[in-house]
Amino acid sequence: MTVEGAQAVLIVDNDDHVLKMVEKMLEKDGFHTQATWSGHEALAWLRSRQFEVLLVGDYLADLHSTDFLRRVGKLRRPPAMMVMQSGTPTPAELRRYSSLGAAAVVSKGNMDEVRQMISLLCHRCAIGGSACQRIRARKETNRPRPSILKGGNDFLL
């Protein structure tokens, strides 16, 4: 389902059930979605069009998730926000995801958490119409982003 003016979310996950659940939920909420289990296919889509949010599972079928995030970070125009879905990430994994550009980490399969985080990040992109442009500009100049581990919710912001 494509909604005119809707924000685009690319979903990448090796779990087909989670992939379809998240895609249906976000489409129902009015987002334009593209979904794939393939990291290579996701990279091709990221090169050809702009996505506001990239939602990535902690395991991909054809690429290690950290290798995938590194490649995304090298793109000319990476997505404004990247969110990781993970079972129970360790503190070291949270730091690694953050260092590779993830804005948040949500519990894999927790649809309420995914919905809230995607909505929050897309709302931030919509504020004033230029928030996402500022985020992209900061990424393009390779300036470090502040990261805060929000206790209890496994959100990394």
Confidence class for position 1, pLDDT limits 50, 70, 90: very low
Residue 149 included in any domain = yes
Residue 2 included in any domain = no
Give pLDDT tens digits for 21-51.
999 999 999 999 999 999 999 999 999 999 9
Question: Domain residues for 51?
Answer: 8-156
Give pLDDT tens digits for 59-97.
999 999 999 999 999 999 889 899 999 988 889 999 999
| pLDDT at residue 5 in the model | 60
Q: Is the pLDDT of residue 122 over 70?
A: yes
Q: Considering its fold, how many domains does the chain have in total?
A: 1
Whether the Cβ atoms of residue 157 and residue 145 lie closer than 8 Å to each other: no
User: Residue holding tokens 């982003």?
Assistant: 145
Confidence class for position 115, pLDDT limits 50, 70, 90: very high
Report the greatest alpha carbon distance in the chain: 40
Residue 3 included in any domain = no
